[in-house]
C-alpha cells in the first residue's frame, strides 16, 4: 500500500503536476490534496523567502492532519532580473491579494514593455517543504533559468507559463506540454531532490 503525502495547497494545477511526477518516478508514495484532511487552512504567506512560505503552509496543514502524517508544501515564483527580482515570493499575488493568473501576467508584461530583448532574463524558483511523521522538516529547491517573451504564447500550463522561455528552448512553458515541462521545470528539479530523499524510506 502506498504511503500518502498530503500537499498543502488549494492549487489543483500544482497537485496534478506533483502527482504526475511521482507517478513517473514509480515510487510507492501517493500525493493527495489538502481536501483529504479537511481542506487547506487560510495562511498568511508573510515570509520573505520561498522556503519560509513553504514551511508556513506545511506547518498549517500538518496541524490539521494526523500526528504521523507526511505533509508537503510548495512555494514558487518568478524572479525577473530587470525588475530587481520581482515578482518573487509575491508572484501569485503580484496584481493584488486575489489576483488571477491573467491579471498577474498582464501586470508583468506592462512592467516589461520597455525592456528590450537581451535584457529579459528571468528564472522560476520552487522550494518544497516536507514535514515527516516525527515532525522533522526538510526543504528542497529547484530553479529554471530563462527569459520573458515579448508576448504570450501557448495555451497550456498556468501562471506565468505563457511568457517564460526556459533556457535552451524556443517555446514557452505553456507550449512545451506537461511531459517536457515536468522534466526541466523548477518544480521538476525540486521534486527530483525530494524523490532522492524519499526513495530509500519505507
More confident of the two residues 125 and 9: 125
Q: Which long-range contacts (CB under 8 A, 24 or more apart) does 192-197 make?
A: 192/142, 193/128, 193/140, 193/141, 193/142, 194/72, 194/128, 194/130, 194/140, 195/21, 195/22, 195/25, 195/27, 197/130, 197/138, 197/140
Preceding omega of 87 cis (within 30 degrees of 0): yes
Please report the pLDDT score of residue 82 as a whole number. 98
Catalytic residues: 75
Q: Name the nearest CA neighbour of 75 among 95, 60, 63.
A: 60
Average pLDDT over residues 176-180: 88
In which band, very low, low, confident or very high, does the pLDDT at 200 lie, cut at 50, 70 and 90?
confident
Looking at 15-24, 79-88, 141-150, which range is the least confident one? 15-24
Q: Which domain holds residue 188?
A: 3-198
In which band, very low, low, confident or very high, does the pLDDT at 156 lie, cut at 50, 70 and 90?
confident
User: Is the pLDDT score of 60 beyond 90?
Assistant: yes
CATH number at residue 27: 3.90.950.10
Average pLDDT over residues 55-60: 96
In which band, very low, low, confident or very high, does the pLDDT at 182 lie, cut at 50, 70 and 90?
confident
Please report the pLDDT score of residue 55 as a whole number. 97
More confident of the two residues 201 and 170: 170
Q: Mean pLDDT in the chain?
A: 93
Tally of domains within the chain: 1
Question: Could you tell me the pTM of the whole model?
Answer: 0.91
Amino acid at each position: 500500500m502506498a504511503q500518502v503525502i498530503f500537499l498543502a495547497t488549494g492549487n489543483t494545477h500544482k497537485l496534478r503536476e506533483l502527482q504526475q511526477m511521482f507517478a513517473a518516478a514509480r515510487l510507492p508514495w501517493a500525493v493527495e490534496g489538502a481536501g483529504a484532511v479537511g481542506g487547506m487552512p487560510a495562511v498568511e504567506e508573510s515570509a520573505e523567502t520561498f522556503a519560509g512560505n513553504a514551511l508556513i503552509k506545511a506547518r498549517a496543514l500538518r496541524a490539521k492532519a494526523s500526528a504521523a502524517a507526511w505533509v508537503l508544501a510548495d512555494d514558487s515564483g518568478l524572479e525577473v532580473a530587470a525588475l530587481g527580482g520581482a515578482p518573487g515570493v509575491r508572484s501569485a499575488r503580484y496584481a493584488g491579494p486575489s489576483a488571477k493568473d491573467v491579471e498577474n501576467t498582464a501586470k508583468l508584461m506592462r512592467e516589461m514593455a520597455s525592456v528590450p530583448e537581451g535584457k529579459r532574463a528571468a528564472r522560476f524558483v520552487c522550494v518544497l517543504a516536507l514535514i515527516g511523521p516525527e515532525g522533522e522538516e526538510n526543504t528542497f529547491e529547484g530553479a529554471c533559468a530563462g527569459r520573458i517573451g515579448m508576448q504570450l504564447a501557448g495555451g497550456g500550463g498556468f501562471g506565468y507559463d505563457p511568457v517564460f522561455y526556459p533556457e535552451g528552448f524556443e517555446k514557452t512553458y505553456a507550449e512545451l506540454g506537461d511531459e517536457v515541462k515536468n522534466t526541466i521545470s523548477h518544480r521538476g528539479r525540486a521534486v527530483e531532490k525530494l524523490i532522492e530523499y524519499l526513495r530509500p524510506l519505507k
